[in-house]
Amino acid sequence: MSKIKFVEANGDVSFRELDSSVLQDFQLQKKLLYTMKLARAFEEKANELYATGFIHGTLHLGIGQEAAAIGSTAAMALEDKILITHRGHLEAIGKGMSIASMFSELLGKESGASKGYGGSMHMIDPTKGILHANGIVGANAPLSCGIALALKKQKKVAIATCYLGDGAMNEGAYSESLNLASLWKLPVVFATVNNKYGMSTPIHKSHANTDLAQRGIAFNLPTIDIDGNCVLTVCSAMKLAREFALKNQPVILILNTYRISGHSRSDKNRYREDSEILDWKKRCPIKRLENSLLEQKQINQVDIEKIDLKIKNEINSAVQAAQLSELAKEIQW
């Protein structure tokens, strides 16, 4: 379990221990394990539904990135707001969106999260703090500043978290938003999921400096740089980031992880070596936590089988409900 790398706004680097309350709370860890497994099962079932013609359009899966999404959302309050990307199923599940409404949305049903009109990339649930889902790379950044500004003016004890990828860091809107957040002292966290690729382009071919934690220095912003495949590290780091944001100190959170699935369903992974993908599969965030709990005798194989069966039933029930729902009503322009 790695420490939390903290880069000050002036570039000074220190390393912090993980939050003891996270390390000692086995009920939390079991919940994290369940939610990560649920998120993985959701993505796998969505992939199956797409392959069999039930889901139309495109689909961006986050298999392999479960710790980054579930660990960070677990450290938030219900009142906290998030903005998610085209690959946002995991964060939505972590923040509490109903998987039944998500499957309904994927199938274009009236009971969907966005009434069947949004599809995979545009699911929202304001009751859970999921205010926006955007298919435009980097476009969440300025919107998160607006939401954070509103929270600050209303004196809310809440933060905004903007999820985006390493590719979005090269969009002008990202840099402009860092500047605004720093200038206006906004309660916002820029949760940057570094999965090493922007579509098929590896990070070393798109970033002049691949040390992403250096980006915040130019904007007088601190950065937290962590192993995004360890859910306990992620949860601890997000708790720290949230503490800063609540004091109106915006912060960048770099979640270093890997996208096992292709960029989208049309991606044949021809730009990656099989050995690279296999290596990252061995670092599976779900297995890491599962093995840790087994070693500490907090769960056993029977418990795991019960969890897997419960999730299987939950997924199947949600899909069945979605398939029986009415199609979205035709839009009258």
User: pLDDT for 286-295, tens place per residue?
Assistant: 999 999 999 9
Domain-embedded: residue 331: no
pLDDT at 333: 45
Domain-embedded: residue 123: yes
Domain-embedded: residue 100: yes
Distance between CA 175 and CA 169 in Å, rounded? 7
Q: What angle, 0 to 180 degrees and rounded to 10, lies between the N-to-C axes of helices 301-324 and 26-51?
A: 40
pLDDT at 329: 86
222 with 6: CB under 8 angstroms? yes
Domain-embedded: residue 327: no
134 with 140: CB under 8 angstroms? yes
Domain-embedded: residue 292: yes
Backbone angles phi, psi at 294, to 5 degrees: -65, -45
Confidence of residue 189 (pLDDT cuts 50, 70, 90): very high
- Is the predicted pLDDT of residue 72 greater than 60, yes or no? yes
Q: Give, in degrees to the nearest 5, the angle at Cα 170 between 167 and 171.
A: 100
CATH number at residue 67: 3.40.50.970
Q: Provide the domain limits for residue 130.
A: 4-322
Domain-embedded: residue 189: yes
> What's the domain count of the chain?
1
Question: How many Cβ atoms sit within 10 Å of the Cβ of residue 145?
Answer: 25
pLDDT in tens, 197-249: 776 677 787 777 888 899 999 999 999 999 999 999 999 999 999 999 999 99
Which of 313, 326, 253 shows the shortest CA–CA distance to 67? Answer: 253
**Tokens at 326, concatenated:** 């009415």
Pairing type for strands 188-194 and 197-198 reads unpaired
Q: What is the DSSP letter of 272?
A: S
Domain-embedded: residue 317: yes
Domain-embedded: residue 328: no
Confidence of residue 315 (pLDDT cuts 50, 70, 90): very high
**Tokens at 214, concatenated:** 């250096």
